[in-house]
Amino acid sequence: MEALRWLIPLLALVVIFVVGGRAILSLSSRRSEEPLLCTTCGGQTDMPQSQIRGSRVIEIILWLAFVIPGLLYSLWRQSTRQKVCPTCGSATLILANTPEGRRRAEQLSKGKG
Ligand SMILES: [Zn+2]
């Protein structure tokens, strides 16, 4: 199997690249964040959850079956990462410490009361 000679080091390189990239992304997103306001439920948080689109199962299948589509799929999923509200799961978080954020917080608290 001549092809395996270059395929295995290439696979190892790609895995290191993807795992390393994810580690860097998760480290940077864990830093203390600015308070965020959810415009859907009015919840405030400084620890938004991050959510990515796509399926881990499809990702694994693509990786096992074809390396390049697997890599592309992984990269696409990483690019769709977004911050979501830990209360309701909506991706409608805005910065709370802005005039807009304060205005929306006021509106939402009035709407509830
Ligand atoms: Zn919410």
Distance, CA 82 to ligand 1 centroid (Å)? Answer: 14
Q: Domain ranges in the chain?
A: 33-48+85-113
pLDDT at position 54: 86
Averaged pLDDT for residues 88-102: 90
Measured CA to CA, the distance from residue 44 to residue 36 in angstroms comes to 6
Distance, CA 45 to ligand 1 centroid (Å)? Answer: 9
Q: Give tens-digit pLDDT for 6-25.
A: 777 777 887 888 788 777 77
Place 30 in a pLDDT band, splitting at 50, 70 and 90: low
Q: Give tens-digit pLDDT for 52-82.
A: 888 888 888 888 888 888 888 888 888 888 8
Distance, CA 61 to ligand 1 centroid (Å)? Answer: 33
Distance, CA 93 to ligand 1 centroid (Å)? Answer: 8
Distance, CA 8 to ligand 1 centroid (Å)? Answer: 45
The tokens describing 72, both together, are: 């592309």
